Amino acid sequence: MKHVPEHIQALIQKSLEGSITTDEKVILDDWYYTISPEEMAMFSEETENSIGKRIKSRLDDYIIYERMAARHKRQSVLLRAAVVISLVSVSCLLYYFIANRSREKKTIPEVAAIKAVKDVSPGGTKATLTLGDGSIVVLDSSSNGQIGLQGNTKVIKLDNGQLKYQKGKNGENNTAVVYNIITTPRGGQYQVVLADGSVVWLNASSTLKFPTEFRDSLREVEITGEAYFEVAHNALKPFRVKVRDMYVNVLGTSFNVMAYDDEASINTTLLKGSLKVSSGENSKLIKPGQQAKLNGKGNFQLIPDADVEEAVAWKNGKFSFNSADIKAIMRQVERWYDVDVIFEREGDLHFTGELSRFVNVSQLLRKLELTNEVHFRIEKGRITVLP
């Protein structure tokens, strides 16, 4: 039988105790991803009893697994799971395997299939810049340094993948205002420093339209998709974001706007400062830690205690799910991994947890499969969600 190496057992124990270092986490993750499902099934009883019991006692308070059968109708079983999944907590995954094996004789057949097909790499720093004359610059393949002059403003690509707009010192204001557009594709993200010093992070499948310098009493930009803002304070020049028929008005603040066309609402989440969102005759004032949702009918819903970490997780290199349904999760996967998702699975399935955005898609999906309630098939440019 396969035996867990002693040094790996020690790392698992340190992970349980919360004393594992970053380098040790890397070793533990690397070991975990070399294990096939068959090898997982061959771990010795000694390992299962000693480590498994410690894992179980630690995680019973965190793992919730519930099945709800439909009543009086011949329907498939509805599934609802809230599963705490940590990228580096391999011990959680070992426990989940052990728990599932003891509860029912059911393996995870699609894990092997995932490893057999061509994998999909995560997204990265990719975008195009449309200049005022309509010419397009592919930012991820262009050289660092000044890539253009827009009016009186230099456009500079920095070596950290950031685009910076730097206004000239002695510029004339008798020329027309020039607008630029940054567009991220599926599988891309980008960071922009505007001429006033405000910083904008663009998520995948998003656009940012902005003036290359702010001359008027109002600093206004326009977005589609999703963006995180850190706005430079200027009481004399309020900052405004146009999102379809909605406006976000601020002085100086940090906030996130999610406005994808395939989502049910436009979500504006405030981290610090204050802002006002408005659409037609409706408006809401938002305080830090709150979120305003604008639905398709033009009505706002205020979430007083929003999950701020979930809203900005993408900016911090993570997927964060708080009882998120599988379809919402897979929409994020579509955008970030540049794939199409097809559902062959019906039913209600929710997840809670954090995962890295910078792993191959098979690693992400494998962790979800460990619930034993959803499986995946990866083909070229497509992921199928299976029962």
- Between the alpha carbon of residue 377 and those of residues 7, 41, 384, the distances in Å are 34, 22, 5
Report the distance separating Cα 89 and Cα 15, nearest Å: 7
Residues 99, 184: Cα–Cα separation, whole Å? 42
Question: 358 phi and psi, to 5 degrees?
Answer: -110, 40
Q: Which amino acid is at 249?
A: N
The per-residue pLDDT for 238 is 95
Fold of 124-312: Jelly Rolls (2.60.120)
- Name the β-bridge partners of 167: 153
Number of neighbours of residue 73 by Cβ within 10 angstroms: 5
Angstrom distances, CA of residue 313 to CA of 7, 202, 318, 354: 32, 13, 5, 9
Tokens encoding 276: 């006002």
28 with 51: CB under 8 angstroms? no
Question: Which of these, 90, 85, 185, 121, lies nearest to 378 by C-alpha position?
Answer: 121
pLDDT at position 47: 47
Distance (Å, whole) CA 335 – CA 374: 20
Each residue's pLDDT tens digit in the chain (387 positions)? Answer: 346 777 887 887 787 677 888 677 767 766 765 655 455 545 544 444 555 555 444 433 333 332 222 223 323 223 333 333 333 344 444 443 433 333 333 333 344 445 445 789 999 999 999 999 999 999 999 999 999 999 989 999 998 889 999 987 765 666 788 999 999 999 999 999 999 999 999 999 999 999 999 998 999 999 999 999 999 999 899 999 999 999 999 978 999 999 999 999 999 999 999 999 999 999 999 999 999 999 999 999 999 999 999 999 999 999 999 999 999 999 999 999 999 999 998 888 999 999 999 999 999 999 899 888 899 999 989 999 998
Measured distance CA(32)–CA(92) in Å, rounded: 12
Where do the structural domains in the chain lie, given as residue ranges? 6-120+316-386, 124-312
Helix axes 326-337, 361-369, angle to 10 degrees: 170
In this structure, the number of other CB atoms found within 10 A of the CB of residue 241 comes to 26
Name the CATH topology of 6-120+316-386: Phage tail protein beta-alpha-beta fold (3.55.50)
